[in-house]
Amino acid sequence: MKIPRPAPEERKWWVIGIIGVLIMTAGAVWWGISATRGVSWENGPFDVKNDRSVQVTFYVTNQDGKPVTCVLEAQDISHGRVGVLTVKLPPSNFRTTEYTRTIPTVAKAVTGIVDQCEYR
């Protein structure tokens, strides 16, 4: 059985469709690769020092020799914010660097986490 060929006026839509799929595929590949790059972080141990502070240890990966700003957050038992600290970290060329900072709080915290990190 022979496959019918599209009419000449339909060919342009096939070409436009194929080009559109190729552009979308290239965009998805670019987005996927860019999502895996950049600074990342991991929460480490924390220590509730008293009713007004919690000490947080965290690990920053892929600094690539650039300074980084991180936002640390202390939370209470109901996951409410009881303290926030923005820290400016110096450049590091190590794959992963460990940092420890103390977050002042307005009430007793039960945990301390990194909310976000980004290049400065």
Q: Name the residue ranges covered by the structural domains of the chain.
A: 1-37, 40-119
pLDDT, one tens digit per residue, over 21-44 is 999 999 998 888 776 668 999 999
pLDDT computed for residue 72 by the predictor? 97
Domain 40-119 part of CATH 2.60.120: no
Q: Is 2 exposed, middle or buried (0-12, 13-18, 19+ CB in 10 A)?
A: exposed
pTM exceeds 0.75, yes or no? no
- The per-residue pLDDT for 120 is 84
Residues in the chain with pLDDT values less than 70? 35-37
C-alpha torsion angle, residues 59, 93, 32, 57 (rounded to 10): 10
Locate 46 and state its tokens. Answer: 């924390």
Average pLDDT, the chain: 91
